[in-house]
Chains A and B, each alone.
Chain A
Amino acid sequence: MTLPSSPKDLIAWRVAKELNYGEIVNLGIGTPTLVSNYISPEMNIMFQSENGFVGMGALAQPGEEIPDLTNAGGQWVTLVPGAAFFDTAMSFIIIRGGHIDVTVLGALEVDERGYLANYWIPGRGGPGIGGGMDLVVGTKRVIVAMEHTRRDGEPKIVPRCSLPITAKRMVDLIVTDMAVIRPTTEGLVLREVAPGVTVDEVLAKTSACLIVPDDVGEMVA
């Protein structure tokens, strides 16, 4: 297969390879939402949406919106067989209580400790917390899916987050349009580079210290 050419789709495609058969998965707003485009129904993955259901399907086609059925970003969505609705308390029993296998979310910054910042920019405000803190605290595996640099080209993978952190938890994997990086207690380990990207280019766009093993791979289909 040909790999997706747009940065966001490449990220979503690579994250999708991390998901296993039958897992319960929560996708954040933005790029993480695209991950569901790369999951086949045979994977039997159930998507949980923090606004109150499991069994989220594709986005609804224009003109076929179902009343009172939206995702956590307010978009109209559909259901898959076996879906279930619940209230917010149950939603966060599922999230905080460790019943979600994987959460995929965006970040403003990630640092050498594997901590992410994604809710507030002092002086400018921010999107807010929403379900993010509970998801990072309570989910079994946390994957950050984000573009490698800010819009102005500045690094987002930094020695220490300058923005308020979302939780004191080391995330499990960072997937960007340039690289796959695994946080460890020794530091951030470069695992893969995107097609056409060199290790030196990744290092140049990363202000955090990266451990570069001999066996860095390439994202392949």
Chain B
Amino acid sequence: MSKVKTVQEAMERIEDGMTVMLPGFLGVGTPKALIDAICERRIGNLTVIYNDGAFPGVGIGKLVRCGLVRKMISTHTGTNPELVKAVADGKIEMELLPQGTLVERIRAAGAGLGGILTPTGVGTSVEDGKTVMELDGTKYLLELPLRADMALLYAFKGDTGGNLVYRRTARNFNPIMATAADLVIAEVEHLVDVGEIEPEHVVTPGIFVDIVVRGCN
């Protein structure tokens, strides 16, 4: 059964106020057509889970510029002065995490774990409000699973059943975010029939993907 839909059809599933996971690292590996469609429809008040601030007007920087983001859960904002300003002005709420913690919290949600213990952040501002556990003489922070209503992925190649292959550094958060959202939409650059991707080469199995849309290129 084909999971392919148009971007318009996919957009019917996205609503104001949702929590959205977006993969990418400074814009590399982030879906383009889906973000453009969100901006066009002005779907707002979003909580966005994304590694960094990307650049002004690029990737999630576009959502920031369009004023559609209420809260960001992220690790780094310095590359996007528009986001830095929106946070300083109190227009966007920011939860800042170490990158390794962000990805493990998402993985914990996808893997059915109750949380993870990490030494990263112990004795720093990241520790505030969190449970510290000491095991065998080492302190760890208890970090809780992080889920989303929706994950919007970006793959170089995908089949109609949702099996995905990524290209170079565009893989980043994609395979992990695919596991931790109620609805997973994959924007693929090259759409192929089921069977055309070697099972050995599939990175994200199609069972994680609900909807496949074609990218803009």
Contacts and interface: CB of A to CB of B under 8 A. Distances in A.
B104 interface: yes
B103 A88 contact: yes
A87 B171 contact: yes
A128 interface: yes
A74 interface: yes
Contacts of A138: 100, 119-120
B175 A126 contact: no
Given A128-B75, A166-B124, A168-B123, A89 B103 contact: yes
A155 interface: no
B98 A133 contact: yes
B172 interface: yes
Interface in A51-99: 51-53, 66-70, 72-74, 85-89, 91-92, 95-96
A50 B76 CA distance: 13
In which size bucket is the chain B interface? 35 or more
A134 B78 contact: no
A49 interface: yes
Contacts of B6: none
Nearest to A77: B169
A88 B21 CA distance: 14
Contacts of B167: 67-68
Nearest to B168: A68
A87 B125 contact: no
Contacts, number: 135
Given A49-B169, A128-B52, A128-B77, A95 B100 contact: yes
Interface string A112-156: 000000001000011111111110011000000000000000000
A118 B157 CA distance: 38
Contacts of B119: 96, 137-138
Contact of A52 (B25, B52, B75): B25
Question: Chain A binding site: helix, strand, loop or mixed by DSSP?
Answer: loop
A120 B98 contact: no
Given A51-B25, A51-B28, A88-B103, A68 B98 contact: no
A67 B124 contact: no
Contact of A74 (B26, B123, B174): B26
A85 B171 contact: yes
A54 to B, nearest CB: 12
A92 B167 CA distance: 19
Most buried by B among A52, A120, A128, A133: A128
A148 B92 CA distance: 35
A189 interface: no
A70 B26 contact: yes
Contact of B169 (A51, A73, A129): A51
Contacts of A128: 52-53, 74-78, 96
Interface string B65-86: 0000000001111110000100
22 contacts: A51-B172, A52-B171, A68-B156, A69-B168, A70-B26, A74-B55, A86-B171, A87-B176, A88-B99, A96-B120, A120-B96, A128-B75, A128-B96, A129-B99, A129-B126, A130-B75, A131-B98, A131-B100, A132-B98, A164-B124, A168-B123, A168-B124
Given A125-B78, A128-B53, 19 more contacts: A52-B25, A53-B169, A68-B156, A68-B168, A68-B170, A70-B169, A87-B174, A87-B175, A89-B175, A96-B119, A125-B77, A128-B76, A129-B75, A132-B98, A133-B100, A134-B120, A137-B119, A165-B123, A168-B122
Question: Nearest 9 pairs between A and B by C-beta?
Answer: A128-B76, A127-B78, A92-B100, A168-B123, A134-B100, A74-B26, A130-B76, A133-B98, A68-B168
